[in-house]
Amino acid sequence: MKKVYFVVMLLLCWNIINIKAQQNVPGTPVSFKWNLQTTDIPKILLPKPDMQRIAQEDEEMAMKGKGYRNGVFVQTVIRPDNSGLWDYLPDGSAVWRVRIQIPDAQALGLYFSNYHLKPGMVFYAYTPDKKFVIGGFTELNNNYDIPVMATQEIPGDEVVVELFIPKGTTDYAFEIDKVAYFYRSTPFENNPKVGTCHVNVICPEGDNWRDQIRGVAKVTMVLSDGTYLCSGSLVNNTNQDCKKYFLMADHCSVSGNGQPVTDAQLLQWTFRFNYQATTCTGTQSGPSQVLTGAYYRASDTYGQTQSGSDFFLCELKENLTSTINPYFNGWSISTTPATSGVGIHHPAGAMKKISTFTSTLTTYGTTHWQVYWAATANGHGVTEGGSSGSPLFNQNKLVVGTLSGGLSDCNNTNLPDIYGRMDKHFTGIGTSNDKRLKPWLDPTNSNVTTLNGRNLCATNTNDFEQISHSLRTFPNPATDEINIDLSFYELEHPVIHVIDVTNKIVLQESPEKINNLYKLDIHDLTPGYYVLTIVEKGITYSTSFVKN
């Protein structure tokens, strides 16, 4: 089995934060504004885990083909009423702070067993030097059915937790029950342990796969005995409604001691999008974005019983935005093996990579595809732990499988990997909806065997500002043809109007959709200034251009 490296990779250095944090409200910790000192804050010193025992467990899990763990939990009970320091401000509001340390950790993560904030309350977490800050987290981060919450990694072995409470606010919940001690495969290592043969997705090898790359994310999984790493992808469904379905491997959802993920743990998983290098040989990422939490939808039992094709489908809890610029990857359940394609993944939790195959897939047993990777101009893409669950794309840019395991690595580029087959995912291991993909990815019961991918839906008026901001035309001025660029969203059945200076509609088109670029023929228009409007679902988006 492929080892499963798993962690929230934040691209930052100690002095420059080059990432987007978890979904939060903008702002600054109140203690910063009031210049409250951190040296006065009481410190809770938690015990360092037995790393000799942890190393032995990890070695045994690797020998058995289990997942790749990169963090373990230290249990605690930390609340504003039993620890920390209160500061009361002139307006009657209050700030509670506490310092938490576990010696020698590469990074820490905070996990809440009871989190329910009231409007006006804001929570931040940051390093004592204030160079790394996440938050603010508010009532928007509440999970009402199961009141848990989690943070992404915070570098170093010490963190300050700060909670602002407005005057008169009561009946809130804020309890940390465990702190993750991250001991390997974090973005804060000086020498990340990932093979040197991998190919960054920004390289030319990724040029034909730019949309597909946007759908793949890195996942940090909370399981019973720690945190693990995997990869996965957003997938489209026949309703074309941008349901936030995320597909990965079932073995990613099972801990090293064989315990499957619970609903509460799944709400603490994090999904990092756009964690990828900015240059082909680069080691620095551009901005990436984290979503927290998901809901279980369907899986087989591969992680526990080796039965099935190894799939796990969840639905992301938080909303996707145009800042993420996501893509819902298409899929194929054809039983004809792909003749070429790629895998897109996060090996060892590293920045996103692309691996290429140029020989026809072969079957492995009755449930998997077997693939051999090819050398390309900038390396020889393979897979590693952390790649598990990632999508395999055929020559038509459709997902045909998810990574279960294999033998390839940078020292064994000629050895194969195996991917659970998409057609087997669809039929699953029974008739129950939670044991097969078809009810979720083909809710219209269309029985199609292929479905193309799509951009983010324009679902309501809340998207107006984002769509209007991203809408542009080029070249401008134009002569014969103008490109309508709507790179963040996909509009279904829009109506395009071109309006002249007398407010007369001089050109109208009704395409089935606008996806990325749409070319509009304007050669019959007379030279002059025009307004271009796009109407979809009763909402009008406008821009302008000049015809030469």
Nearest C-alpha neighbor of 155 from the set 186, 123, 112: 186
**Helix (H, G, I), strand (E, B), or coil: what is residue 208?**
helix
310 is catalytic: yes
Q: Which residues of 102-130 are buried (b: 16+ CB within 10 A; e: fewer)?
A: beebbbbbbbbeebbbbeebbbbbbbbee
- Check 388, 390, 404, 408 and give the catalytic one: 388
- For 68, list phi and psi in degrees, rounded to 5: -95, 110
Radius of gyration for the chain, computed over Cα atoms and rounded to the nearest angstrom: 25
Residue 192 and residue 446: Cα distance in Å, rounded? 46
Residue 109 and residue 157: Cα distance in Å, rounded? 10
Nearest C-alpha neighbor of 452 from the set 424, 490, 418: 490
251 is catalytic: yes
Nearest C-alpha neighbor of 198 from the set 416, 341, 3, 351: 351
If you write DSSP's letter for every residue of 403-470 in order, what string do you get? EEEES-BTTBTTS-EEEEEHHHHHHTTSSSGGG-SHHHH-TT----SEE--EEEE--SGGGHHHHHHH
Residue 404 and residue 423: Cα distance in Å, rounded? 15
Residue 291 and residue 231: Cα distance in Å, rounded? 14
- Can you say whether residue 394 is alpha, beta or left, with left for phi > 0 and alpha for psi between -120 and 50 degrees? beta
Q: Which residues pair with 150 in a beta bridge?
A: 111
198 is catalytic: no
CB count within 10 Å of CB 403 equals 31
- Check 251, 346, 380, 425 and give the catalytic one: 251
- Check 58, 157, 310, 463 and give the catalytic one: 310
Catalytic residues, which ones?
Answer: 251, 310, 388
